[in-house]
Amino acid sequence: MELLSIQNLTKVYKVPAGFLRKKNFFALKEVSLSIKQGDFLAIVGESGSGKSTLGKIILRLEKPTKGKVSFKGKDIFSMGKEYTRKVSAVFQDPRSSLNPRMKVEEILEEPLIVHRVKGRKERVLKVLQRVRLSEELLEKRPLQISGGQAQRVAIARALILEPELIVADEPTASLDVSVQEEILELFKELNSKGISFFFVTHDIRVVEKVANMVGVIYAGILMELGKKEEVLKNPLHPYTKFLLENVPVRHPKDRKPLKYLQEEEVSIPEEGCPFYPRCPEAMEECKKFIRRSEVNGRLLACNLY
């Protein structure tokens, strides 16, 4: 069953362009995708690609300029508090996403109070067990526990209302490698029990471990979307190939020279493909337009197909 549907989503910001002038900056441009029940969709891309903006719109922290986001067929911006019961979030840094003045017990109880859920104590103890934390932490504050424990508290808070979808924005980026592995295993376990994920990351190695679907985004355009095995083993879009060929290696001796010139900052042009200046397979037509198509069930934004 389709849980979340995003159709032709565009987000435009007004940015300074000289004295008393502003111009349009496209953070997202005509993004379309869907998440089915039980999916673990990972959105991967470089910094500034628009992946976090997409997550914020799903969480209703931002509104799109154009396009529609639906949850089980309903426009999410027409829904009330029932949406926040069904869709929850885990952010990158638990230190900043958890209130430092509140005890862990208060942090976990707060969503239950807002939604007037009874049996709060039982719910809190149940969710603590689910994320493998001890009851002793309930009296502590976020600064009194480790980063890994704090992120588990953040996950417990996301789970407390029994959501159907969790939006996780770089949830392991601020953690040590060993703790990252633990958190990723926890996400996989939760997914196996029916919770769907929209997972934002810049690290393809993380995608390999947890996702079943992968979306590759560049400068606000969804370049490729498909099953993880197909996208990672047989990438079709030149940008996906670029990302895979430049995955950080485990040892310096394994380093390979970068194949294309990297840019420090990328903006979306009014027309054409933003990857054109870096693409080894670019055609003249790529300056003017970008073709969206479906190849064997895989969505692509590329004039090669």
Confirm whether 251 is domain-assigned: no
- What is the signed CA dihedral for 224, 220, 171, 125, rounded to 10 degrees? -90
Q: What is the pLDDT of residues 85-101, one digit of tens each?
A: 999 999 998 888 999 99
Confirm whether 182 is domain-assigned: yes
Tokens 């590329």: give the residue: 302
Tokens 């017990």: give the residue: 105
In the 8-state DSSP scheme, what is residue 232? H
Alpha-carbon gap, residue 207 to 215, rounded angstroms: 10
Integer Rg of the chain from CA: 20
Q: Which two tokens stand for residue 292?
A: 């969206």
Q: What is the pLDDT of residues 212-256, one digit of tens each?
A: 999 999 999 999 999 999 999 999 999 999 999 887 555 444 445
CATH number, domain with residue 67: 3.40.50.300
Residue 260 has pLDDT above 60, yes or no: no
pLDDT of residue 80: 94
Q: How many folded domains does the chain comprise?
A: 1
Confirm whether 101 is domain-assigned: yes
Confirm whether 286 is domain-assigned: no
Question: 152: buried, middle or exposed (CB in 10 Å: 19+, 13-18, 0-12)?
Answer: buried
Q: Going by C-beta distance under 8 Å and a sequence separation of 6 or more, which residues neighbour residue 133? A: 149, 152, 153, 156
Residue 265 has pLDDT above 70, yes or no: no
pLDDT of residue 267: 53
- Cβ atoms within 10 A of the Cβ of 115, count? 13
Residue 269 has pLDDT above 80, yes or no: no
Q: What is the pLDDT of residues 100-137, one digit of tens each?
A: 999 999 999 999 999 999 999 999 999 999 999 999 99
Confirm whether 192 is domain-assigned: yes
Instruction: Tell which wins on pLDDT, 32 or 268.
Output: 32
Confirm whether 163 is domain-assigned: yes
Confirm whether 19 is domain-assigned: yes
Tokens 């810049």: give the residue: 202
Percentage with pLDDT > 90 across the chain = 79
Alpha-carbon gap, residue 160 to 101, rounded angstroms: 20
DSSP sequence for 38-58: T-EEEEE--TTSSHHHHHHHH
Instruction: Tell which wins on pLDDT, 25 or 259.
Output: 25
Percentage with pLDDT > 70 across the chain = 92
Alpha-carbon gap, residue 209 to 75, rounded angstroms: 32
The domain in which residue 179 lies consists of: 2-211
Confirm whether 221 is domain-assigned: no
